[in-house]
Amino acid sequence: MNSKIYDLLCCPETGEQLSLKNNELSCNESTYPILNDIPWLFKNPEQAFLEWASKIQTYFKLEESQLNEIYNSNKNEVNALTAQRVELILKARKTNLEDMYSRLKIFTEVQAIDTVPDTQQIHSYFDLVFRDWIPENKELLSYIEYIQGLLTTKVQNVLILGSGAGGLSYNLAKSNSHVNFVSFEHNPYLSFLSHDLISGRDARLYQYTNHPSSITQTAREYLLRNDEESKIVNHQNILGTFPDLPFRKKSFDLVIAPWFLDIIDFNLSDSLNIISQFLSSNGTLAFYGPANFHKKDIFDQYCREEIIDIFESKFEITNTTNGSVSYLYSAQKSQQRIEEILFTSCSKFKNIPNKGLNVEPKKIIYSAKLDAYKQKINTFSKILKHINSDMTLEELAKRLELEFDFNKKESLHYAGIFYKMILEGSLDS
């Protein structure tokens, strides 16, 4: 590990300086392992490891099962072109799954624990790999160009929050050897893959789509690699989670938040308060991402004017520009997503007295929506308790007759609806 980057690390629990010994980082209170040369700096390292192990093992099990089902069904497919398309998808998904197995083996060697369902899974944002590592990707190049304009001669330490597959980090590090770059990510697969690619190891992965523009565009294999003969020594991956940033306060001259502030579970104002603690006195925060925030809470679904207003309320200097990108472009897809984005750079945090994070006890409001959700879960539970092995719709219908006092026609109707929901994967919608 780069000694200058190592000096920036602190315990995410206490803020103490960490010491390195026997491939572990430790302080008086806690010990943090180093996995694949990447410090595992979650606030509760053991719990976080077990949670990720459970997510990973569950994903592997579900993906294997689904691939087997598709394979067996495809053997009976009468349309030769459909069978060909599905076979291409199967090959792509199997190859990608094998790559994940090889990089995440350490997470399969422990006993999984029960976890609460989470939208952030190990396969989340897999498409970032191709955006970040296919040469001359226009979206990535636009981000590199923007950040490069902020790397003045005074910038020494840079933090990238939500660094994904590491393409931005790699390209900036190789072009600015005098600057130390820290990539902070919470997804082990993306971080491990990023580290391997930046370190000079290859990855062979498929980019595929379920909605190709043609059969031949269903899937494409890529040999991903960096183009540097010399080793990148001014970069370090760190695994952890926001807001428990494991770094010394005021240690970064530039903090980059690429497509980050719009997806984390904090409102924008609180997020800026947290990040500002790690900016040096003349440090800059750079954000680029959607020009409106697609969050669940209507009060956090900011449009462009609201986003800029919040930045300006926190920083004395705020510069913004608009742009548009073909987000996560793929030649395989029949449709592309054009995204209006906002480029923002801010400096000189105002240090306005504030209440800090909202630490008031969370209250669960028993709303009509929650009541409807509760009823749906209860209904699903009553149905699922009868399904412990393969069964026909007629067999399930007989169980539903007794469970819900349906007549024969009603029970067969609702068994069919439930079967359709299983096929469409809409039980959780």
Same domain, 53 and 155: yes
Is residue 429 domain-resident? no
Q: Which of 325-334, 347-356, 363-372, 399-408 has the lowest mean pLDDT?
A: 347-356
pLDDT, tens digit (0-9, with 9 covering 90-100), for 280-329: 999 999 999 999 999 988 999 999 999 999 999 999 999 999 999 999 99
Is residue 4 domain-resident? yes
Domain final position from 347, 363, 379: 363
Same domain, 93 and 163: yes
pLDDT at 429 over 60: no
Domain final position from 313, 339, 363: 363
**For the residues 138-154, what does the mean pLDDT come to?**
96
**For the residues 92-106, what does the mean pLDDT come to?**
97
- Pairing outcome for strands 38-39 and 31-35: antiparallel
Same domain, 30 and 99: yes
Total domains in the fold of the chain: 2
Same domain, 104 and 137: yes
In sequence order, the 6+-apart residues with CB closer than 8 A to the CB of 159 are 182, 184, 247, 252, 254, 255, 256, 278
SS3 state of residue 31? strand
> Sorting pLDDT into bands at 50, 70 and 90, what band is 380?
confident
What is the pTM assigned to this prediction?
0.87
Same domain, 340 and 374: no
Q: What totals of helices (H) and strands (E) does the chain contain, helices first?
A: 12, 13
Q: Which of 340-349, 359-368, 369-378 has the lowest mean pLDDT?
A: 359-368
The rounded mean pLDDT for the chain is 91
Is residue 372 domain-resident? yes
User: What pLDDT, on the 0 to 100 scale, is given for residue 331?
Assistant: 84
> Sorting pLDDT into bands at 50, 70 and 90, what band is 410?
confident
Same domain, 150 and 112: yes
Domain containing 372 equals 368-424
Same domain, 359 and 377: no
- In angstroms, the Cα distances linking 264 to 246, 272, 278, 292, 336 are 17, 12, 18, 14, 25
Q: Name the nearest CA neighbour of 235 among 335, 120, 157, 320.
A: 157
Q: What percent of the chain has pLDDT over 90?
A: 72
Which CATH number characterizes residue 14's domain? 3.40.50.150
User: What pLDDT, on the 0 to 100 scale, is given for residue 426?
Assistant: 62
User: What pLDDT, on the 0 to 100 scale, is given for residue 315?
Assistant: 97
Domain final position from 315, 337, 363: 363
Same domain, 333 and 415: no
Same domain, 383 and 273: no
User: What pLDDT, on the 0 to 100 scale, is given for residue 354?
Assistant: 54
